[in-house]
Amino acid sequence: MKIGVLKETVAGESRVASTPDVVKKLTAKGFQVMLESGAGDAAHFTDAEYKSVGATVVDRQTALGCDIVVKVRKIDQADIDQLSDSTILISLIEICEDDGTLQALFDRQIRMIALERIPRISRAQSMDVLSSQSNIAGYRAVIEAAAHYGRFLPLMMTSAGSAKPARVVVLGVGVAGLQAIATARRMGADVYAYDIRPETKEQIESLGAKAIELDIGESGSGEGGYAKELSDEAKAKQQQMLADELAKAHVIITTALIPCRPAPTLVTEEVVERMREGSVLVDLAAATGGNCPLTEADQVVTKHGVTLIGHTNYPAMMPTDSSNFYATNVLNLLNIMVEKGENGLALKDLDEDEITQAALVRPE
């Protein structure tokens, strides 16, 4: 069974869907790995490294013709016609932002495993790409904040005087938010956090941060561990009650997302106007409209004296580790998709396992 590993073509995307360490494990299991030449260059993995662990370096068309094709981002329209009729595509399909790619794949009867649809159950944790990449985003968000904040994050005492720790507020306590809290605490900041799901309070405090508690009249707990959208009345109440807490922050990191919906507004322009000169806001929801309306996607801008950071692909800023995590998630998924048969590796029925059943994209 052949696996094709494609080079990413989205601007700024430096990750690769498989790494030499993972390719070594795949070839040991009996897979033939066909790597598009240069696929790992941006993540600092050379073709020679892949060859040394058993991969064959090929052109893009050959990689597209494999039994299984793995990518990080959505496949290019131009590549769809080059897929084999029996190909299984494994990647982030980016279903919420479909531009016709899904229908083109359905028309070719290509089976798709959308990694963003891996269910959040215990068995699937080792395959959960969204969580592994969100961990990196939460960490990198704090690094970006520290780089743009013109003062220390921790308490600093020197012979020339002392500096108080920065007050960091994290909004949204999912995977990215928890990692942001942990990273900011390790760097010595005074950290506060808020989430509409009341069950996150214990998680916040376990990391040494302080939970911001607001009574907005309803819970934001949704299915599968995700937040659900609040009513308009609750949103307005939330913004009003949060405003005073946010205005005192030196650094705000927002991570609030609702699947396939615009990001909720948590930091209004009025709050930004009240923040101290030189403060920083890192908006991890910039790709879906931002948790602050002043955020500009893929830009770093200063408004009302506050630096707003709107990067939309933090994992690509750390491509080596991001690719290692991603590739390991895909390897673990392949372990439940394929079994050894009399004539080598054979694909299992994807509807027999709850994980592949949930991730398999079907026409509506």
Which residues belong to the active site? 120, 125, 128, 131, 226
Residue pair 302/277 in contact by the 8 Å Cβ criterion = no
What is the separation of C-alpha 244 from the centre of its chain, rounded to a whole number of angstroms?
Answer: 30
| Pair of tokens at residue 8 | 């990413």
Q: What are phi and psi of 114, to 5 degrees?
A: -90, 110
Pairing label, strands 210-211, 280-283: unpaired
SS3 assignment, position 223: helix
Radius of gyration, alpha carbons of the chain: 22
SS3 assignment, position 200: helix
The CA angle 150-155-159, to the nearest 5 degrees, is 90
| Pair of tokens at residue 77 | 């329209």
Burial label for 310, CB within 10 Å (0-12, 13-18, 19+), is buried
